[in-house]
Amino acid sequence: MVASSDSHVTQCHIAAMKATHPVFCTIVPPHVLDKLAQADDPDLAGPARRTLEADAAQRTHRRLTTVLGAPAATVPQGAAAGKPHRTVYDAQHGQRLPGVKVRGEGDEPGRDATVNRAYAGLGATFELLLKGFERDSIDGTGLPLVASVHYGENYGNAFWDGRQMVFGDGDEIFRDFTIPVDVIAHELAHGLTQYTANFTYFGQPGALNESVSDVFGSLVKQYVNDETADRADWLIGAGLLTERVTGVALRSMKAPGTAYDDDVLGKDPQPAKMEDYVRTGRDNGGVHINSGIPNHAFYLLATDLGGRAWERAGQIWYDTLTGGSLEVDASFADFARATVAAARARFGDGEELEALLKAWSLVGVPTG
Amino acid sequence: MRIGVRRTGGFAGIERYAEVDTSERPDAGEWHALVEEAVAAGRGTPPVGVPDGFSYQITVDGETVYCADPRLTEAQSRLISQVLKEGA
């Protein structure tokens, strides 16, 4: 009943153009839209033109927010600098974002624990950025933080959509994604990366994007618990797996590849070293797999230095991410070299640099 | 009709695959209508997703279309949930 490839592809794009929800049109390839926009039939040309305009506006907006930071207008009037501006929405198990507003900045906690956890998680991440790194929100100029909870049905995932965080309530494998604070911080850190180094979400730069989110996710958890590096569990998503799964978390920065080993999920596929780097086209070129390598380098540095991980190891990573020297398609080696420059600039040729060179060497990423 | 759904990416980076064969099912007609709508809004190549977002491949009788969160149509969303839930 599905027609053969060529005719069916054309048909489906036209069908998409006639859809009432313009958001669906953004999945149509630009070259098809270009063609449709020139069509004689206004039913085809009109929506295609509008979609192209909206797409271009969105791309320009993304580029501008990356380069300049989000416009100041997005901060509520009268809001103080150095204070979070949080809003949590309830998607009510649908997939339209953001959903219904359920808690704004300064509102008292409600009965919904998921909403309260999201609100607190945004606050904890904001506080570490401010107190640890003197950064006012993820863009550096007080960007309001937005999260939607109760997204979709039986939805075992959380993601950053370029503007906000989105959390599902879980499924048979995962619990509510707002449970681990490091997961909330991980999503928000995708925003931090978007506004700074903006690593392309594929292959090595994609794995760096993921790793930076795990690093800041773990740092926020350690900051909330006031833990030193030797006492932290260095797990991502501890408490997220249901009792049906054999495992402790989704990833381990301390021992990549050991977070779970389960009949249904399989075994944690993360490598800790370059010699075990996984080449794959899946998962955007293994972004959640090979992130184990820079994750482990960070763990080695932080535990070698000891004390609070965000103070020195975290500062080096933060300086590297925000320093502006890296291209969006940076490799692990590019990133490692930039951390060396950042460590030198911040701490000189001391124990920080020595521990850093040792960490990269142990995971097999060259710094020379 | 054989309907396969492969879900990749996501926060966990764990892949899932499930398949439904409608030939023996009494509700085959409903499945076919849903498939037609879902596939019509699909893409010929994988769209660029968002960080930690799920990406999907929907394969119907050997032909594949792609889509990704958070930009699924209602039909795509329903078909994906149903196949992952009821499929083997």
Q: DSSP states of A7-29 as a string?
A: HHHHHHHHHHHH-S-HHHHTTS-
Structure-block tokens of residue A208:
């760096």
CA distance A148 to chain B (A): 12
Q: Taking CA atoms, what residue in B is nearest to A289?
A: B13
CA dihedral A120, A126, A130, A131 (to 10 degrees): 30
Instruction: Kindly determine whether residue A24 and residue B71, on different chains, have CB atoms separated by under 8 Å.
Output: yes
Maximum separation of any 2 CA atoms in chain B, in Å: 39
Does this chain's domain A84-179 share its CATH topology with A203-363?
no
Q: Is the ipTM of this complex over 0.95?
A: no
How buried is A186 (Cβ within 10 angstroms: 0-12 exposed, 13-18 middle, 19+ buried)? buried
Q: Give the closest residue to A85 by CA, choosing from A161, A151, A148, A136.
A: A136
Return the pLDDT at A45.
Answer: 56
Structure-block tokens of residue A124:
């904890």
Q: Is there a catalytic annotation at residue A186?
A: no
Q: Smallest Cβ distance to B52: which of A8, A12, A157?
A: A157
Rounded to whole angstroms, the Cα distance separating A104 from A90 reads 12
Q: Which of residues 208-247 of A touch B (CB under 8 A)?
A: 209-210, 213, 237
How buried is B82 (Cβ within 10 angstroms: 0-12 exposed, 13-18 middle, 19+ buried)? middle
- B47 interface with A at CB cutoff 8 Å: yes
How buried is A214 (Cβ within 10 angstroms: 0-12 exposed, 13-18 middle, 19+ buried)? buried
How buried is A238 (Cβ within 10 angstroms: 0-12 exposed, 13-18 middle, 19+ buried)? buried
Instruction: Kindly determine whether residue A95 and residue B60, on different chains, have CB atoms separated by under 8 Å.
Output: no
Q: Is there a catalytic annotation at residue A187?
A: yes
Instruction: Kindly determine whether residue A1 and residue B11, on different chains, have CB atoms separated by under 8 Å.
Output: no
Which domain, by its residues, includes B77? 2-86
Domain count, chain B: 1
Instruction: Kindly determine whether residue B11 and residue A2, on different chains, have CB atoms separated by under 8 Å.
Output: no
Q: In chain B, which residues have pLDDT < 70?
A: none
User: B39-55 burial by CB neighbour count: b if 16+ within 10 A, else e?
Assistant: bbbbbbebbebbbbbbb
- A49 in helix, strand or coil? helix
CA distance B71 to chain A (A): 6
Return the pLDDT at A39.
Answer: 56
Per residue in A250-271, pLDDT (tens digit) is: 999 999 999 999 998 899 999 9
Question: Do A9 and A29 touch, CB atoms closer than 8 A?
Answer: no
Half-sphere exposure of A59 (CA within 13 A, CB side): 9
- Which of A150, A190, A288, A296 is catalytic? The answer is A288
CATH number given to A203-363 = 1.10.390.10
Within 8 A of A283 by CB-CB distance, chain B residues are 8-9, 13, 15
Q: Smallest Cβ distance to A201: which of B51, B71, B73?
A: B51
Class of domain A84-179: alpha beta
Instruction: Kindly determine whether residue A97 and residue B81, on different chains, have CB atoms separated by under 8 Å.
Output: no
- B46 interface with A at CB cutoff 8 Å: no
- B4 interface with A at CB cutoff 8 Å: no
CA distance B52 to chain A (A): 5
The residue of A151, A267, A283, A287 whose CB has the most chain B CBs within 10 angstroms, and thus the best one to mutate to test that interface, is A283
- A24 interface with B at CB cutoff 8 Å: yes
- What does the radius of gyration of chain B's CA atoms come to, in whole angstroms? 12
Structure-block tokens of residue B27:
């509700």
Return the pLDDT at A28.
Answer: 34
What residue ranges do the domains of chain A occupy? Answer: 5-58, 84-179, 203-363
Q: In chain A, which residues have pLDDT < 70?
A: 1-79
Within 8 A of B65 by CB-CB distance, chain A residues are 12
Instruction: Kindly determine whether residue B41 and residue A177, on different chains, have CB atoms separated by under 8 Å.
Output: no
- DSSP for A76-116 reads PTTPPTTS--EEEEE-TTSS-SS-EEEEETTPPP-S-HHHH
- B33 interface with A at CB cutoff 8 Å: no
Instruction: Kindly determine whether residue A282 and residue B15, on different chains, have CB atoms separated by under 8 Å.
Output: yes
